[in-house]
């Protein structure tokens, strides 16, 4: 069955999006990406080290924009204004209109700043960006962000880097039921079953980073995540059986003979 993930007019085989942060070195980053089967990779935008070696390897040499869809984020921004500035730099650097908008409330919780996120989303859409927006699990805000023209809604499963999994599945379900653009669970995935559950619920894709980078064996976990996302998607499409409060025999026979 043909089941492509369509995002921003492009079609992808993988529904797993991988973050490129926190791996032990670029070699591990590369292997994790290969093992995960991911086609879309997030990167952050930061000042260069102006004292660096001229020939020092750069992340973009490892994850080539020719091989992967590079999705820049606005991580580390706490206002709409900052995030717009970063988005403009990212567009120039990577020649892409795609941006994962991330405007945070504070450094301790790393939760989205809902008001500033909406302001930035509207502005970026008006500047021809294709905005994928990191947001809370508030479905009313998700609707506003969709109406503002965002191409994907990315609710958190739980706080960034916490690995707690989907703490409020009913809220994610509410977003799924009310939103027509792709829904990508972003942040808080801890292990493969979390990713699988997100996909079984009907999310269109999953974005994760720390659950790989912080695993004992990141490359092996990348494989687990790949399989979990495929399994969850298949299960969603197959449709689960009705739950019953009593046992129902599997065999049609009433008696032993």
Partner 1 sequence: MNKIKIKVNGEGISIGNNLTLSGLLLERELSENNIAIEINSEVIPKDLWTNKIIKEGDSIEIITAIGGG
The answer to whether the beta carbons of residues 235 and 218 sit under 8 Å apart is: no
Q: Which is nearer to partner 1, 111 or 235 (CB)?
A: 111
The answer to whether the beta carbons of residues 168 and 217 sit under 8 Å apart is: no
Q: Which is nearer to partner 1, 131 or 148 (CB)?
A: 131
The answer to whether the beta carbons of residues 100 and 73 sit under 8 Å apart is: yes
**Nearest approach, Cβ of residue 171 and partner 1 (Å):** 21
**Nearest approach, Cβ of residue 17 and partner 1 (Å):** 9
Binding map of partner 1 across residues 197-216, x = CB under 8 A, - = no contact: ----------xxxx------
Binding map of partner 1 across residues 70-109, x = CB under 8 A, - = no contact: x-xx-x---------x--xxx-xxx---------------
Q: Does 117 bind partner 1 (CB under 8 A)?
A: no
d(CA 184, CA 156): 9
Q: Does 229 bind partner 1 (CB under 8 A)?
A: no
Torsion of CA 23, 27, 29, 32, to 10 degrees: -110
Task: Say which of 100, 122, 123, 226 is annotated catalytic.
Answer: 100
Q: Rg of the chain over CA atoms, in angstroms?
A: 20
For 127, residues 6+ apart whose C-beta sits below 8 A from its C-beta are 84, 87, 88
Burial 35-51 (b: 16+ CB within 10 A, else e): bbbbbbbbbbbeeeeee
Tell me, yes or no, if 174 is annotated catalytic. Answer: no
Q: Which is nearer to partner 1, 45 or 172 (CB)?
A: 45
- E strands along 98-137, which residues? 98-101, 130-135
Which parts of 144-163 interact with partner 1 (CB under 8 A)? Answer: 160
**Nearest approach, Cβ of residue 239 and partner 1 (Å):** 31
Q: Does 182 bind partner 1 (CB under 8 A)?
A: no
Handedness of CA 229, 112, 160, 77 (dihedral sign): positive
Size of the site for partner 1 (CB under 8 A): 39
Distances (CA, A) of 97 to 37, 118, 148, 169, 177: 23, 18, 16, 31, 28
Which parts of 18-77 interact with partner 1 (CB under 8 A)? Answer: 19-23, 29, 42-48, 50, 52, 54-55, 58-61, 70, 72-73, 75
Interface positions with partner 1 (CB under 8 A): 19-23, 29, 42-48, 50, 52, 54-55, 58-61, 70, 72-73, 75, 85, 88-90, 92-94, 160, 186-187, 207-210
Task: Supply the residues annotated as catalytic.
Answer: 100
């Amino acid at each position: 069955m043909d089941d492509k993930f369509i995002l921003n007019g492009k079609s992808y085989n993988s529904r797993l999006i991988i973050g490129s942060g926190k791996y032990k070195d670029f070699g591990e980053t590369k292997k994790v990406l290969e093992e995960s089967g991911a086609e879309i990779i997030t990167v952050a935008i930061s000042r260069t080290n102006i004292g660096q070696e001229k020939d020092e390897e750069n992340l973009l040499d490892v994850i080539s924009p020719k091989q992967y869809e590079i999705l820049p984020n606005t991580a580390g921004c706490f206002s709409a204004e900052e995030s717009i500035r970063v988005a403009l730099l990212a567009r120039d650097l990577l020649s892409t209109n795609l941006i994962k908008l991330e405007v945070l409330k504070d450094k301790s919780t790393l939760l989205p700043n809902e008001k500033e996120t909406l302001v930035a989303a509207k502005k970026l859409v008006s500047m021809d960006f294709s905005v994928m927006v990191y947001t809370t699990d508030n479905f009313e805000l998700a609707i506003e962000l969709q109406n503002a023209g965002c191409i994907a809604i990315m609710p958190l499963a739980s706080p960034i880097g916490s690995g707690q999994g989907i703490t409020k599945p009913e809220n994610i379900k509410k977003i799924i039921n009310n939103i027509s653009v792709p829904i990508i669970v972003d942040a808080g995935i801890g292990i493969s079953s979390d990713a699988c559950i997100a996909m079984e619920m009907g999310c269109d894709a999953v974005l994760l980073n720390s659950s790989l980078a912080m695993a004992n064996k990141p490359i092996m976990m990348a494989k687990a995540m790949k399989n979990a996302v495929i399994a969850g998607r298949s299960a969603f499409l197959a449709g689960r059986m009705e739950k019953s409060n009593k046992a129902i025999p599997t065999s049609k026979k009433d008696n032993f003979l």
